[in-house]
Amino acid sequence: MNLNKEMVLKIIDNALREDIGTGDITTQAVIDQDQEMTADILAKEDGIIVGLDVAFWVFEYLDSSVEFRPLVKEGERVARGTVIAKVSGLTTSILTGERLALNFLQRMSGIATQTAYYRSLVKDYDVRIVDTRKTTPGLRILEKWAVKLGGGANHRFGLYDAVMIKDNHIRAVEGIQEAVKRARQNIPHTMKIEVETESLADVKEALAAKADIIMLDNMSFEMMEEAVRLIANKAIVEASGGITAENIIEVAKTGIDVISLGTLTHSIKSLDISLNF
């Protein structure tokens, strides 16, 4: 995926409407309209910086005359105390855009930093760390971009770009094989089919249905190992559910191909970043 500016500008427009409303009362009341200043954007803890373009687009959207100068690269790891960018221009424009620009930078950098941490835990194993659809509504493109810059990979973007047959689909049509059969009849031949499984019986049924990807959902390590043995490279194997920093190495040891983690986007700590004149 790429960071589509047109999509991001729609997010920025909505966010600025929410934040500014009828106007930045404090800034308008306190600051001279023609005053100009320069501000440093500072990383207050170690981490991976993502969202510099988005922060720039916030200021650009408010005032095209604002100058935004990144001092580090997108996706670069920095130490606490690093000045990551400088912003120059009308003081009113900088103050009005400050909070939103920082919100994006902090959250995206937090996601990238957490992704890099999980990736480092399994660096010795041939396994991919991927995200899920458990993202903040309306911010998916930003959060998935941050995962990618943190060294992870992206799962499907939405319901429209991949087939993923989950437990409720299976219950609704009374079986994995029937669900896969219906999917194959109604999708292009170029599209893969993923099936979520909860037991070894499910795995065997998904294999019989010739699923392209088999997800092992909330399985024990022992069950995962047996599932990998049963699948025997006939499908890509994904593990999901209940995976934490404490057990991810044991999951990787089972021989699965992909680990999907909702925690990359739904349970992150934003990186501490500030803007100072």
pLDDT tens-digit readout, 148-180:
999 999 999 999 999 999 999 999 998 999 999
99 is known as an active-site residue: yes
According to CATH, the topology of domain 5-119+269-276 is: Aldehyde Oxidoreductase; domain 3 (3.90.1170)
Copy the structure tokens of residue 114.
């957490």
Our CA angle for 238, 138, 54, nearest 5°, is: 100
Q: Which residue has the higher pLDDT, 100 or 2?
A: 100
| pLDDT value, residue 174 | 86
Nearest one of 71, 79, 3 to 38, comparing CA atoms: 71
Is 242 assigned a ligand-binding role in the annotation? Answer: yes
The pLDDT value recorded for residue 124 is 97
Tell the CATH superfamily of the 120-266 domain.
Answer: Aldolase class I (3.20.20.70)
Work out the mean pLDDT of the chain and round it to a whole number.
97
Going by pLDDT thresholds of 50, 70 and 90, the confidence category of residue 238 is very high
- Give me the percent of the chain exceeding a pLDDT of 90: 99
* pLDDT score, position 2: 81
* 217 catalytically annotated: yes
Please tell me which residue in 77, 86, 99, 204 is annotated as part of the active site.
99
- Kindly calculate the radius of gyration of the chain based on its CA atoms and give it in whole angstroms: 22
Output the DSSP codes for 211-224. -SEEEEES--HHHH
- Locus of tokens 């699948």: 231
Residue 207: what pLDDT? 98
Is 128 annotated as catalytic? Answer: no
89 is in an annotated binding site: no
* Candidates 196, 202, 205, 238; catalytic one: 196
Could you give the residue ranges of the DSSP H alpha helices within 21-90?
A: 25-30, 52-62
Sign of the torsion angle spanned by Cα atoms 177, 132, 262, 147: positive
Q: How far apart are CA 262 and CA 240, in angstroms?
A: 9
**Residue 186: half-sphere exposure toward Cβ, Cα within 13 Å:** 8
Domain residue ranges in the chain: 5-119+269-276, 120-266
> pLDDT tens, 184-232?
999 999 999 999 999 999 999 999 999 999 999 999 999 999 999 999 9
26-67 per-position pLDDT tens digit: 999 999 999 999 999 999 999 999 999 999 999 999 999 999
Binding site annotation covers 132?
Answer: yes
pLDDT in tens, 71-88: 999 999 999 999 999 999
**Is 80 assigned a ligand-binding role in the annotation?**
no
| Mean pLDDT score, 238-262 | 97
pLDDT at 1: 73
